[in-house]
Amino acid sequence: MAEKIWEKNVQADQRIEKFTVGRDREMDLCLAKYDVLGSMAHIRMLESVGLLQADELEVLLIVLKEIYQTIEEGTFVIEDDVEDVHSQVELLLTRKLGDVGKKIHSGRSRNDQVLVDLKLFARTELMKITGQVNYLIEALIEQSNRYKHVLLPGYTHLQIAMPSSFGLWFGAYAESLADDLQLLLSAWKITNRNPLGSAAGYGSSFPLNRQMTTDLLGFDSMNYNVVYAQMGRGKMERTVANALASVAATVSKLAFDACMYNSQNFGFIKLPDEFTTGSSIMPHKKNPDVFELTRAKCNKIQSLPQQIMLITNNLPSGYFRDLQIIKEVFIPAFDELKDCLDMTSLMMSRLQVNERILDDSKYDLIFSVETVNKLTLSGVPFRDAYKQVGLDIETGGFNPDKAIRHTHEGSIGNLCNDEILLYKNEIISQFDFEKVKQAIDQLLA
């Protein structure tokens, strides 16, 4: 049995060990390569301040790169009697290099190790999510432009209200996601700060060079105050979770619209048959299960900030084991949202639009405001025009004018899709992903 890195003469009760380790081994597999990257930056810094010899650094880097390769290949494991990824990496180094492997922990704690691992993990996942949101926005704008002249009824209180269009419908969700990118950007900026060197939350008497590890790992800056660096555990995850929840809220609403519009009672859109599922007893059924599951998964993701808040909201400063539980809800959320974004992009790009919706006379009344506005433009006071059209509707004498004359910014006739794309691109340009990629490539070179 591997000795715990914190053990001295007394071994922990196995029941205590099982309870305290929990799902850490499972969650830490997602953090493994980031733990190796953090260790590579840390030991380069240790060598620069005289806590490692150059030849020790060289062999440590060789073995760490070998471990990184096993992680990429999917063969890395955290052994059953090893607590976490940090202990496993140190154990592998010590098995291969002896006492040299024991030197890598100088000037750090598992507290700042997991902090940097989670930040590097979240940073990478935010890059992926941002890319997928960008792709979905582009797909929605493409559909908005393709179907910009196809009208459909707009609703208030789920009652037919005024003319809308597929140009507006697709474009509205594109702009909503662009706003969600603002929250992803804020989450990125808070995530992209280096906690390494804060140790257990109170710094170190070693002459650490925290700016060096900040640069090596491609962070924008460090978390300067070591107590705050530790306080950031939970805060970073909650901030990121809020951004994920905002994206999820947009996608969930879009999925609900799609389910509703796809039903026979609406008949606004149709999914390709291969994108639907059937019933075990009703041979005619073509169910929009993908959108229904997307709605449910995204609603689940929207609960994530509250889960993290309830784990952390009564904790004072310093480290507490409660924080370990955040990993179990935080880490899986990224894959769930990425799956939803992939499916939504696929479905949105392939759905078929009903181009004759408003031929049905039941939608005639949505043109009442058009008639009121036309009378107002001819000189009739608006309130009088409103009353006149209302009376015509009550007596059955209303004849709709279906000519749409919306020209102002963001309306049916002036979608501003180019402006939405410009807004989106300006936000994405602020992430500076290339700087991060170059730093990690150089660290692994």
DSSP string covering 123-174: HHHHHHHHHHHHHHHHHHHHHHHHTTT-EEEEEETTEEEEEEEHHHHHHHHH
pLDDT-derived band at 284, boundaries 50, 70, 90: confident
What is the pLDDT at residue 15? 77
pLDDT at 193: 98
pTM of the model: 0.92
- In the chain, list all ranges with CATH 1.20.200.10: 111-151+163-206+224-359+412-444
Q: Is 198's pLDDT higher than 60?
A: yes
% residues pLDDT > 90 (the chain): 84
Q: Which residues contact 129 (CB under 8 A, 6 or more apart)?
A: 184, 244, 247, 334, 337, 338, 341
Look up residue 181 and give its two tokens: 């990118």
Using alpha carbons only, what angle is made at residue 36 by residues 33 and 39, rounded to the nearest 5 degrees?
Answer: 155
The whole-number pLDDT of residue 1 equals: 46
- pLDDT computed for residue 21 by the predictor: 65
Active-site positions?
A: 157, 279
- Answer left, alpha or beta for residue 378, where phi above 0 means left and psi between -120 and 50 means alpha: alpha
Q: What's the angle, vertex CA 368, arms to CA 366 and CA 374, rounded to 5? A: 130
* Residue range(s) in the chain whose domain bears CATH number 1.10.275.10: 14-108
Q: Which of 354, 389, 343 is nearest to 369 (CA)?
A: 389
Crossing angle of the two packed helices 85-97 and 110-146, in degrees rounded to 10 = 120
Q: Which of 256, 259, 254, 208 is nearest to 229 (CA)?
A: 208
Quote the pLDDT of residue 5.
Answer: 52
Residue 200 to residue 381: CA distance in whole angstroms: 72
Q: What are phi and psi of 154, to 5 degrees?
A: -90, 155
| Torsion angle (degrees, nearest 10) of CA 91, 196, 34, 80 | 30
CATH homologous superfamily of domain 111-151+163-206+224-359+412-444? Fumarase/aspartase (Central domain) (1.20.200.10)
Helix axes 32-48, 433-444, angle to 10 degrees: 70
pLDDT of residue 273: 83
Query: What is the band of 10 on the pLDDT scale with cuts at 50, 70, 90?
Result: low
Superfamily for 14-108?
Fumarase/aspartase (N-terminal domain) (1.10.275.10)
